[in-house]
Structure 1
Amino acid sequence: MFTKLKSSKLVQRILWTLLIMFIYMLGRSIPVTTVAMDTGVLAVMKTQTLLNNMAVVTGGQLSEITLFSLGIGPWMTGMIIWRFFTVFGMFKNLTTSQLNRNRMILTFLIALIQAFGLTAGATFTAVDIFGMTSPVLARILTMIFMITGSYVLVWLGNMNSVKGLGGMMIIIIVNMILSFFNNLGQYFSDNSFTGVELLVQIAIFATCLILLMMVTVVTYRAEYRIPVRRLGVSNHLTKDTYLPIRVMPAGGMPFMYGMTLMMLPPIIFSSLLSFFPENQILTYLSLNTGLSTLPGVLIYAVILYFLAIGFAYYNYDSYDIAKNMRNTGDYIEHVKPGKPTQKFIQAKINIFAQIGAVFVILMGAGPLFFIVGQSGKTSIALLISNVFIVISLMLTIIEQVNTLLNWRRYKNLL
């Protein structure tokens, strides 16, 4: 049995994932020693823009500066910006190595901006290097540690993609689960309940959580099936052949990348305020681009909509689908192969992209409209989208595990 477990691909991947999870949990608890331990990092910014709640979906931790405070946020933001470039055909003639190098440079620039903004209100310890002692030097070292930690996380995520389960997203899952239990414990510690009240609160919370999980699973797996026929094949098995299009084509990606993008403007405005502290426009923007303000929620809703549409078209390319169907001899009844098939599939994708975008806005931005001006309740409003993110990512891992199990069943035939 030990030999079988040792040679199992699934067991090996699970062990690698557990190791990477342990390294991440260890790194997020290692403080950067150039920052005073009692520093209230983002004490003001956190109440205004609630960056700490949004950083949960990037694996970051902004309540204090640690080795992994930035998380994989710079990488996620860089991927969104890079995809925007590729839509317009930019950098299409670059080699794979050049593309990777340019993406890493873009990630570095974003990490530099975030590290600079997050260290704006920190108190630094004295650092003596070659007889030089300066707060500026300590801040530079702090930023180097934070940027390095972000790159280490990207490397760990890529390593998990090759050898583990869940890829880069395992970092987000771990951070969101840890944050969930921290917020839950903080809620019950801040409010005094009697024994009966505590049981009622737990029962209500558990019921709502179970219902939310059920809705998430149903909506994530719901799909529209287009019957497909195969040229020259006529038997009872062809009746079950179909082209699936998910009701939510973008999945949970808009929530994760939407919060990642919402983190960048407040940090940029905070960084600019350190140079122009009297600028009224920057002050207004820094105070009104968070998820507890009406302008911030509206911006977030718009970002969610465009991300939902963009990821839907990214996940379902009608041209590639129609081309593959033509090459394999598949066709849709009463629809000619080629361009007509592409238009037919694109029309279906357009419909479900809009349905998915509306659903994403209702789940992500809808609850935030009811708590505008109440920054203390934003974490509760974000719980809906956070649950959807965790469940959708977990379902992806389950699908990956099922694939490995199915591969093990058929490997003797290969």
Structure 2
Amino acid sequence: MTVRGKDSFLMDMRQPHELRNRLLFTFLVVAAYMLCRSILLYGVAADETTDASGAQYFLSTLVSGDRYRMTVMALGIAPYLNASLLVQIIFAFRNSTSRAKISKIQSDRWMRWVSVVFSVVMAIVQSYGLSYRPDAGPLWLVRTIVILEMFGGAMLASLMCLQNERHGVGASMPIILLNIALSLFQNMSANHFFEFPAIAILCLVAIAGTAYMENSMIKVPLQRVSIHNVHADQNYLAYKRAPMGIMPVMFASSAFLLPYYLVHMLVSFYPQNAALVSISDNMVLTRPLGVAVYLVLIVVLAVLFSFLMLNPRETAHQMQRNGDSIVGMYAGEQTRRFLTGIVLRWSLISGMLQACCMAVSLALSMREMIPAALAMNPTSMMIITSIVCSLVQEIASYYRYDAYRFFM
């Protein structure tokens, strides 16, 4: 072997193959999740009356893909997602000094314990909404077994997401993508999707709009006191045009269930109240009141999440402390107002665009121009597009890392 050939061989041996290893790990996680999704809960009978068009079904599609909630993955990654969101919100309310004192190990530990709490509560609540076979045994014993099975499945799903975040690609996104893609395919096949051109066109618009918002950036030029070279004019603060991506749409479906269950609980206490009964009957995604609440939630969550996660006040304070500033602008209050305006404007725009897309889809459903089961398809398309864009960007970063050649 020549010297050059030997050097080339050594270079190949030193390549980390980070992308290959991570993709392989993610594939194994998804395969394990699919295997667990085939394990049925003990003693549970299918409920054929399950509504396949409401927000609760749509949420279950995201987190488990289990329409009848009959497998050990009935809770899916819902506890992990809720725990992750709650921990992020708590961190967002803390100042930068407090956040710097919290290690990744600590934050993961907090998220695990919050996941445990969510899993227990959700398993108990969901167990009372299931139908059980009479021959399975005493009801209390069967329900206890089912609760333990759902809790174990949720804990395993959370562990898969955490391990995939460390060793794979996309954290929980591959599982969400799998769930929603399979359910979307089944939904489209069962409801003859391509016979309704209006919803097909709307889905294409949703895909194109989401792809543009996910991949376009707003670049705010910065002056950094620590950089004095030919690249000084290439420094900028970047914001996505959709600051929180598709997260508001995903969690709006979950948040919609809060007023839904609240109203139903009030009706159970005051069954003679005609106003409450009317609100309860209309708090569904096939009636104007339910649609209006759902769309408002999308916009509100888009703004709320953007300010919690991006925190323009903290960004402006950090820039002032570091001696950095936006070109042509004073540091401090003026910078804070400017960044607040950017976050508010684009979070409103992205939230309203997502809400408008859903409004058209749900309006077509209420006018019976499309089946109710297809009304959530644009939302599914937006989520799939957002996840694919994020995965492509992450995979590209690992590819560039693998392509880097160290000097010999």
TM-score by length of 1: 0.79
Match of 2:352 among 342, 351, 358: 358
What amino acid is aligned across from residue 252 of structure 1 in structure 2?
Answer: I
**Matching of residue 222 in structure 1 with residue 234 in structure 2:** no
Q: Offset at 1:12? A: 0.8
Q: Offset at 1:101? A: 5.8
1:28 matched residue in structure 2: 37
Secondary structure in 2 matching 1:243:
strand
- With over 3 angstroms needed to count, the CA separation of the structure-2 counterparts of 1:259 and 1:232, relative to structure 1, is closer
C-alpha distance in 1 between matches for 2:144 and 2:401:
49
Conserved? CA contact 2:187–2:374, under 8 Å: no
What amino acid is aligned across from residue 150 of structure 2 in structure 1?
Answer: M
Conserved? CA contact 2:282–2:290, under 8 Å: yes
Secondary structure in 1 matching 2:70:
coil
- With over 3 angstroms needed to count, the CA separation of the structure-2 counterparts of 1:269 and 1:354, relative to structure 1, is closer
Deviations 1:185-230 (A, max 9, x none): 2123xx9xxxxxx8xx599887665554222211222222212223
- With over 3 angstroms needed to count, the CA separation of the structure-2 counterparts of 1:209 and 1:87, relative to structure 1, is closer
C-alpha distance in 2 between matches for 1:341 and 1:351:
15
Q: Offset at 1:82? A: 5.6
C-alpha distance in 2 between matches for 1:381 and 1:341:
42
- With over 3 angstroms needed to count, the CA separation of the structure-2 counterparts of 1:297 and 1:5, relative to structure 1, is farther
Which deviates more from structure 2 when the two are superposed, residues 143-152 or residues 79-88?
79-88
Q: How many residues align?
A: 388
Q: Give 1:118-157 correspondences, 5 Å limit.
A: 118-119=129-130, 122-127=131-136, 133-157=137-161
C-alpha distance in 1 between matches for 2:112 and 2:198:
50
**Matching of residue 69 in structure 1 with residue 74 in structure 2:** yes
Conserved? CA contact 1:220–1:246, under 8 Å: yes
Match of 1:10 among 16, 19, 22: 19
What amino acid is aligned across from residue 51 of structure 1 in structure 2?
Answer: Q
Which deviates more from structure 2 when the two are superposed, residues 174-183 or residues 279-288?
279-288
Conserved? CA contact 1:49–1:266, under 8 Å: no
2:174 matched residue in structure 1: 170
C-alpha distance in 2 between matches for 1:12 and 1:52:
35
Q: Offset at 1:86? A: 6.4
- With over 3 angstroms needed to count, the CA separation of the structure-2 counterparts of 1:183 and 1:403, relative to structure 1, is same
Deviations 1:244-302 (A, max 9, x none): 222211211011111123345657888x69xx699567976665433222222122122
C-alpha distance in 2 between matches for 1:365 and 1:49:
15
C-alpha distance in 1 between matches for 2:80 and 2:26:
20
Q: Offset at 1:180? A: 1.4
Match of 2:115 among 98, 104, 109: 104
- With over 3 angstroms needed to count, the CA separation of the structure-2 counterparts of 1:206 and 1:360, relative to structure 1, is closer
C-alpha distance in 2 between matches for 1:114 and 1:369:
32
Q: Offset at 1:7? A: 4.8
Conserved? CA contact 1:292–1:372, under 8 Å: yes
What amino acid is aligned across from residue 222 of structure 1 in structure 2?
Answer: S
Counting aligned pairs with the same residue, the percent is 21
1:116 matched residue in structure 2: 127
C-alpha distance in 1 between matches for 2:226 and 2:22:
41
C-alpha distance in 1 between matches for 2:33 and 2:270:
40
C-alpha distance in 2 between matches for 1:390 and 1:290:
24
C-alpha distance in 2 between matches for 1:88 and 1:321:
14
Deviations 1:109-128 (A, max 9, x none): 54135423431xx132434x
What amino acid is aligned across from residue 148 of structure 1 in structure 2?
Answer: G
Which deviates more from structure 2 when the two are superposed, residues 79-88 or residues 61-70?
79-88
1:346 matched residue in structure 2: 340
- With over 3 angstroms needed to count, the CA separation of the structure-2 counterparts of 1:153 and 1:125, relative to structure 1, is farther
Conserved? CA contact 2:202–2:378, under 8 Å: no
**Matching of residue 241 in structure 1 with residue 235 in structure 2:** yes
Secondary structure in 2 matching 1:126:
helix
C-alpha distance in 1 between matches for 2:198 and 2:54:
29
Which stretches in structure 2 are left out of the alignment for 5+ residues?
Answer: 1-8
Which stretches in structure 1 are left out of the alignment for 5+ residues?
Answer: 128-132, 192-197
RMSD (Å), alpha carbons: 3.8
Deviations 1:133-154 (A, max 9, x none): 4123212222221222122111
- With over 3 angstroms needed to count, the CA separation of the structure-2 counterparts of 1:240 and 1:86, relative to structure 1, is closer
Q: Offset at 1:57? A: 2.0
Deviations 1:71-112 (A, max 9, x none): 2223334445566666777xx899837734652344135413
What amino acid is aligned across from residue 21 of structure 2 in structure 1?
Answer: Q
- With over 3 angstroms needed to count, the CA separation of the structure-2 counterparts of 1:159 and 1:22, relative to structure 1, is same
Which deviates more from structure 2 when the two are superposed, residues 388-397 or residues 110-119?
110-119
Conserved? CA contact 1:290–1:296, under 8 Å: yes
Deviations 1:327-374 (A, max 9, x none): 555321221223432232222222222222222221234422342385
**Matching of residue 56 in structure 1 with residue 61 in structure 2:** yes
- With over 3 angstroms needed to count, the CA separation of the structure-2 counterparts of 1:339 and 1:407, relative to structure 1, is farther
Q: Offset at 1:166? A: 0.8
C-alpha distance in 2 between matches for 1:105 and 1:311:
24
Deviations 1:131-186 (A, max 9, x none): xx412321222222122212211111111111111101211100011111111221
Conserved? CA contact 2:119–2:154, under 8 Å: no
